[in-house]
Amino acid sequence: MITLQECHTKKEMKQFVTFPFSIYKNSKYWVPPIIKDELETFDKKVNPAFENADAYFYVALREGKIVGRIAAIINRYEVNEQKIKKMRFGWFDVIDDIDVTKVLLAKVKEIGKENNLEYMEGPVGFSNLDKVGVLIDGFDHIGTMITWYTHPYYKEHLEQLGFVKEKEYLENKFQLTNVDAAYYERISKLICRRFHLTALSFTKTKDILPYVDEMFDLFNKTYATLSSYVPISDSQIAYFKNKYISFINPEFIKFVIDADNKLVAFGIMMPSFSLALQKAKGKLFPFGIFHLLKARKNPKVVTSYLIGVDPQYQNKGVTGIIFSEFANAFNKIGVETIVRTPELEENTAIHQLWKSFDPVTHKRRRTYRLNI
């Protein structure tokens, strides 16, 4: 018999967070989260996402043993302001037993009905800065710190239960040797002269911080037209700034400003922490932090996290400035491969942006939908 337990206490939430460690313990490709960080993500006192969202956390039990987990999420901004009557579900992990999946998703559907919502979609998080989707292709590639890895049967369970494709995301990678640094340096100089723009690079985190709020404002403006987009609030901006910016190598953040010192474009990349997180096994101490710090130094693989351009400057070659700055920085430290985070299949603009680098699509992931 399968029963559900809602998680409230610290002990229960830790069990919710650590459950995936049991089903991926023999995987070469799963990248574990830092347990402390994951717990903070679900803490209403810490994560400002809860200002506009309700979330319920459940584990499925069989004979007292956890066999699955799921988070049921209602984004109130999405429902009340955007009039999208969606019930979200995320942090979905399960053993290969469709009956367990059925029980978990039935609970999400029940909450959706109680709140007069029209359909459910997942796996998704609270916002666009959270992880998204189940893998449908690329199971033999290592994950990243900002994606979920899932077994092939997740997709099979969802489809057997009547879920259909809602959105598809592509993950691509390319070699830095595919980037003609000299060409982009010429383009950068030309675009800077034509539009009176200046590229900003950094060596100290403290010099980046004055621009971060403006960067997230530009992020909202850049991605507002995408069908999946929910704006990032000021408090969420502060949260992400404190949580992530100080840990990203300063030279991996690039800004472009106009003649009035207004931010018009940005790019953020990160060293790949995948192998370091596997070695850390969910814990920063006593040794996990050293693996992460080591991964920051002269990485061979980097992850493209965010890139944004003011709509007024899109299609004007401004991204060439960012590419030039990254190419120069990465060639100096010996970066070989750039991995891109999940990008919507429908986002043709972003795919056009990277096409000259001969990217290879090595993973596909998907969110699934079911009417309530």
Q: What is the pTM of this model?
A: 0.93
Q: What is the pLDDT of residues 326-356, one digit of tens each?
A: 999 999 999 999 999 999 998 888 888 899 8
* Domain ranges for the chain: 2-171, 174-366
With pLDDT > 70 as the criterion, what percentage of the chain qualifies? 99
Fold: same for 2-171 and 174-366: yes
Q: What is the pLDDT of residues 45-77, one digit of tens each?
A: 999 999 999 999 999 999 999 999 999 999 999
Say whether pLDDT at 213 is over 80. Answer: yes
Q: By the 8 A CB rule, do 265 and 222 touch? A: no
Would you mind telling me the total number of residues written for the chain in this entry? 372
For domain 2-171, give its CATH number from 3.10.560.10, 3.90.1150.10, 3.40.1280.10, 3.40.630.30: 3.40.630.30
Average pLDDT for residues 182-201, to the nearest whole number?
A: 96
Residue 252 — φ and ψ, nearest 5°?
-95, 10
Per CATH, the homologous superfamily of domain 174-366 is: Gcn5-related N-acetyltransferase (GNAT) (3.40.630.30)
Alpha helix ranges (H) inside the chain: 10-23, 35-41, 76, 98-114, 152-160, 181-195, 205-223, 234-244, 274-280, 288-296, 319-333, 348-354
Q: What is the pLDDT of residues 240-289, one digit of tens each?
A: 888 888 888 999 999 999 999 999 999 999 999 999 999 999 999 999 99
- CA geometry: angle at 58 spanning 57 and 60, to 5°? 165
Say whether pLDDT at 144 is over 90. Answer: yes
